[in-house]
Amino acid sequence: MNTTVDDLVLGMAGSGGDGVVSAGESLLGALSAEGYHAMMTKSFGPQIRGGESSCRVRVSTRRVLNPGGALDVAFALNWEDFFRFGAELTLSADTVLIHEEKAGPPPETLGARGIVPTQILSVPVTEITKQSAGTDKAKTSVVLGLISGWFGIPAESLKRGLRKKFLSKGEDVLAANDRALAAGIAYAEAHPLLKPRTLEKTTAPPGSKMLCDGNDMCAAGALFSGVQFFGGYPITPSTEIMQTLSKEIWKYGGVVLQAEDEIAGIGAALGASFAGRKAMTATSGPGMALKTEILGLASIAELPLVIVNVQRGGPSTGIPTKPEQADLYQAAFSAHGDVLRPILAPTCVADTFAITVEAFNVAEHYQTPVILLSDQEIAQRKETVDRIDTSKLVVEERLRPQGAELEPYLRFRKTESGISPLSQPGMAGGAYQGAGIEHNEKGEPSSSGVMHAQMNAKRFDKLAPLSKRKDLFEITGDLDAPLALVSWGSSAGVAREVLALARSRGVKAKLIVPYLVYPVAEEVYADFFASVRAGLVLELSHQGQLYRILRMYVDVPKGVRSLAQSGANPFRPAEVLEKLLEAAKGAGIR
């Protein structure tokens, strides 16, 4: 009996040259073209170039919130590489495990993990490829054909994807891959699954969704915000932001500078901000460490600047190709002196656009550096998203002096809001000294302790309204629930699914997701926790950094505990749900 499913998670792994990631992208493109909701994450070994790689694709007729749990379908082109990605490619008894016949039967280590799939299929992928395509370089097209034949992925969409990918290489190459695809489909039809399952048809119209990753969305959000200067240095996994802007920013009169190092990149960006231009830089943890000194200059000079940190596993070089959420302490506290820097964080590819726009708005409005904390999963996973309605977004500009404010011009004048009009070089009457030394209202150097206290207060007080903005938080579920989830960044997608699973079981629960991670919005959290007796703070960091920061500022209920783990080991919704229900039981919540 054929079972129709509305959610399917597929994963595959292989060596360099097997084209595993390329196959995943082709599959994702076909699903997106059909109107499905889909998401692809990819993972690589520690090598700089080549080597093993894996990908997982989740497809659904509903919105996909995270990469999912155990695989429904697993492809192993060789066992050694497959087992290297055990955390990303988890199996269950219901997994259909397909492997290259040449790789031999599954090794004993598969059973040692305690989970053996009920159906393991040995497929002569290389042999099928050579017979159909005349080469062994079209193996991934055979794999795509197997997926199409066994799980009902539309073959026509896969063919269009192959045409787009291979046409530039010539008709012969394209024809060979078409034959390999057809051969894979034919093999699947001739060897049906023990428990056939077919992906449910989507009701969304074909071509209704965009397909992009978080770094592209970040670059697009920056362009929409009016960014005119990017200064940076390549570093995984943020480099694509600079690459995209390099191709696009000139169309809008902007400039990209690939500097000689991370310090020069942020220094140039801050110089552009001083010159009156919206500016940004992007990096990851090691580069963020180098940018700290210039961040201090941006704070004391009260200059707008957006700094994107695409977090990865750390410390030091760490794991550049895996996600983590462990740079929160660095973003909030890596400063000499008293400094308050706003920190915003997207939670998925789709909202990265709006959160990037918000980062520029906060930077320009409050005249401050703003840190945008993305992470490797959001930045580099590909996801289908609805088209963005930009009419709902507002772009803010910095407050500039005019009229009497220039007679004389007091750059750091103490206003009621704490925000002083900001001039730029060349503005008549707007000259001032902008430096890293403490200063008076005119910008003149001052070593007065009294003046230092006043300026510290000015720099902090102007940000007070930011922490009261409830629109920078997502609160869902039963508002008076005694059970709660708190999560941020890429982990929020898992928390959203867990909330839905808990409520489907009749459990009253709620979720808060901060897009403004710091400063801590004490009133927002106090209201949220008022009804709460138990819950979890979900995040990918060994220390549970958000949980600990919340406890610095908020009376977190005793029953709310940290559920934290190191990066590169993604959360699975079923596991988190189990922990949440345990927390509820411990607090006597039914």
Please write the tens of the pLDDT for every residue from 519-539: 999 999 999 999 999 999 999
Percentages helix, strand, coil for the chain (3-state, rounded to 5) are 40, 20, 40
What does DSSP assign to residue 102?
A: G
Same domain, 40 and 119: yes
pLDDT at 144: 92
Q: Say yes or no: 314 and 355 in one domain.
A: yes
What are the pLDDT digits (tens) for 6-30?
999 999 988 877 788 888 888 888 8
Answer whether residue 51 shows pLDDT above 70. Answer: no
End-to-end Cα distance, the chain = 38
pLDDT of residue 342: 98
Contact at 8 Å (CB) between 70 and 91? yes
Q: What is the CATH number of the domain that holds 558?
A: 3.40.50.920
Q: Do 143 and 272 fall within a single domain?
A: no
Same-domain pairing of 495 and 526: yes
Mean per-residue pLDDT of the chain: 92
Which three-class secondary structure string do you get for 476-537?
EECCCCCEEEEECHHHHHHHHHHHHHHHHCCCCEEEEEECEEECCCHHHHHHHHCCCCEEEE
Q: Is there a single domain that holds both residue 166 and residue 136?
A: yes
The model's confidence at residue 398, banded by pLDDT at 50, 70 and 90, is very high
User: Based on the domain organization, do 445 and 481 belong to the same domain?
Assistant: no
Euclidean distance between CA atoms 234 and 259, whole angstroms: 9
How many domains are there within the chain? 4
- List, for residues 100-149, the tens digit of each pLDDT value: 898 888 887 776 566 778 889 999 999 999 999 898 888 889 999 999 99
User: Is the same domain home to 421 and 446?
Assistant: yes
Among 466, 493, 522, residue at a domain's last position? 466
Q: How far is CA 24 from CA 20, 355, 433, in A?
A: 6, 28, 54
Sequence-ordered list of residues with C-beta below 8 angstroms from that of 450, at least 6 positions apart, any chain: none
Q: Do residue 417 and residue 367 come from a single domain?
A: no
Question: Do 241 and 351 have their domain in common?
Answer: yes
- d(Cα 566, Cα 86) in Å, to the nearest integer? 15
346-365 mean pLDDT: 98
CATH number at residue 12: 3.40.920.10
- Do 160 and 246 share a domain, yes or no? no
48 has a pLDDT exceeding 60: no
pLDDT at 85 over 90: no
Does pLDDT of 241 surpass 80? Answer: yes
Structure confidence at residue 517 (pLDDT): 98
Query: Among 362, 392, 422, which residue terminates a domain?
Result: 392
Decide which of 441, 466, 491 is a domain's last residue. Answer: 466
Is residue 449 located within the same domain as residue 361? no
Residues 456 and 495 in one domain: no
Please report, rounded to a whole number, the percentage of residues in the chain having pLDDT higher than 70: 98
Domain housing 520: 469-586
Model confidence pLDDT, tens digit, residues 383-394:
999 889 999 999
